Amino acid sequence: MKYEELLERAMKKIPKDINRGERFNPPAVESFIEGNRTIVTNLHALANYLNRDLNHIVKFLAKELAAPGNVDGKRVIFIGKFPNKVINEKVQLYIKQYVRCKECGSPDTKFEKEDRILMLHCMACQARYPVPKVK
């Protein structure tokens, strides 16, 4: 089979609702610096939107920022001064690694545990693959 034919066949397999990604619009993270701590005020909303465990996101950010992070009621506090832009960049990285399907780019995914391995399962294309553990 020719490359063009293969390509055409592959294109036909792409689900019609591939455009759903355009509706994906997670809230920007809001934060401010207080003393030498950084307070993030809406990570709960982001976690909800992304359908991810807040603690997983906090753990990821703490690792990326190399700073301890704690959930304090509705706020999340990181020790250290981090500009809002930096935190939002880390959130984008989180979305890339732990939310968007690496096969089709859909954000419509969920975590599944298989033995002790964390798997990302894509609802759009049914891809399923392990994601790195946040240490």
Instruction: Compare residues 39 and 104 and give the one whose CB is closer to Zn ion.
Output: 104
Distance from C-alpha of 32 to C-alpha of 93, rounded to nearest angstrom: 20
Of 20 and 75, the one with the shorter C-beta distance to Zn ion is 20
DSSP three-state, residue 24: coil
The pair phi, psi for residue 24, each rounded to 5°, is -75, 110
Total interface residues for Zn ion by CB under 5 A: 8
Quick one: which of 45, 95, 118, 125 contacts Zn ion (CB under 5 A)?
125
120 near Zn ion, rule: CB under 5 A: no
Does residue number 124 form part of the binding site for Zn ion (CB under 5 A)? yes
Alpha carbon distance 59, 69 (integer Å): 7
- Interacting span for Zn ion (CB under 5 A) from 6-14, 36-44, 113-121, 127-135: 127-135
Torsion of CA 70, 75, 80, 84, to 10 degrees: 130
Contacts of 108 by beta carbon, 8 Å cutoff, 6+ apart: 20, 101, 122, 123, 124
Q: Which stretch binds Zn ion (CB under 5 A): 44-52, 69-77, 112-120, 124-132?
A: 124-132
Give yes or no for residue 31 binding Zn ion (CB under 5 A).
Answer: no
Q: Which residues bind Zn ion (CB under 5 A)?
A: 101, 103-104, 106, 122, 124-125, 127
